[in-house]
Amino acid sequence: MKQFLLLFLLMMVLTNQTQAQERKRVREYGIKIGVLPTGQLNAITDVPGVQVGQVTLNKGKDIRTGVTAILPHTGNLFQEKVPAAVFVGNGFGKLAGTTQVQELGNLESPIILTNTLSVAAGMNGVITHTLQQPGNEKVQSVNAVVGETNDGGLNDIRSRHVTEKHVLEAIQKARGGAVEEGNVGAGTGTICFGFKGGIGTSSRKLPASLGGYTVGVLVQTNFGGVLQVAGAPVGEELEKFSFRQQILEKADGSCMIIVATDAPVDARNLERMAQRAMLGLGKTGGIASNGSGDYVIAFSANPGLRIPHEAKEKTQTVTLLHNDELSPLFMATIEATEEAILNSLFKAETTVGRDGNKVEALPLNKTLDILKKHHVIRP
């Protein structure tokens, strides 16, 4: 009898592991978002030079947090800055480093995403990383850009488990290639539309006739609203959405959105692209609620636009796209943001965390049935 019970438990464990492994990205279920083609990996790393590194802290009963680092290029970012912009969809958040980016229109550090009370650790990690890089021996100031969402529902956020060491590790792990999604890095403890949120990414590759540029997006999802998938009312039909029956299910949270491109666009037009990312969030049903910190950081990784820390000449000559050429990039940003958010939900897994709080993953079978019903995917 004991042997039978042990065999049964083992089968249950293996079944659960298999189910977890079966969670796929949106497109793998036949769900097509938008009309533009994706990049090769359908990830922010499709933009040449862009790298992502993540550290996941999933320990004991109440540590569910982490760090996600995004690097615009593989060189010394402080010495070779990139054009950048910030757009605030709703400002209930703690995004460090914004004023200098807005004032100067450039980015000189990795972008760090983590939880709300670990922004200081994120800044310390970026500062240490920058000061340690060869060529930065005389640097006495660096603008560390660190974004956050509050994962206190699942994570023991007050104990501040993320340290400078974890931030440095995420930066050191940064690589090109496929990006892990769901319950990883800064998305380990996040909640989105009442389901388990996380890290998600997507990209769009413009055809040669429109310049052949790539736009990549990475998101950290932790916000509320009424979930829609390709226009289908998934949240409504699952009866899981903010303010349902006036019960006031919590809608607050945050969303960090990182937009990267290799298109030759300056800070002004990067801000315009960043604005469009909020339209992508809206297409998923996000409402940018009062207590939500919804921020977009956009940068161009185009090598021809790099800004030297110590310029030898008083002027800089660059080639930029005309305003009239921006509309395809706007569409790419909207589509990639929408799909990145959905990928974060489709890949995330049910999580139990602080005080035994449990957040269910988006129920894929029910969701797919709804999408078939609304002809988003074929039955």
Among 242, 254, 289, 300, the active-site one is: 254
Among 109, 292, 300, 344, the active-site one is: 292
DSSP collapsed to 3 states, the chain: CHHHHHHHHHHHHHHHHHHHHCCCCHHHHCCCCCCCCCCCCCCHHHCCCCEEEEEEEEECCCEEEEEEEEECCCCCCCCEEEEEEEEEEEECCCCECHHHHHHHCEECCCEEEEEHHHHHHHHHHHHHHHHHCCCCCCCCCCCCEEEEECCCCCCCHHHCCCCHHHHHHHHHHCECCCCCCECCHHHCCCEECCEECCEEEEEEECCHHHCCCEEEEEEEEECCECCCECCECHHHHCCCCCCHHHCCCCCCCEEEEEEEECCCCCHHHHHHHHHHHHHHHHHCCECCCCCCEEEEEEEECCHHHCEECCCCCCCCCCCCCCHHHCHHHHHHHHHHHHHHHHHHHHHCCCEECHHHCEECCCCHHHHHHHHHHCCCCCC
254 is catalytic: yes
Among 62, 262, 294, 344, the active-site one is: 294
- The residues annotated with a catalytic role in the active site are 254, 292, 294
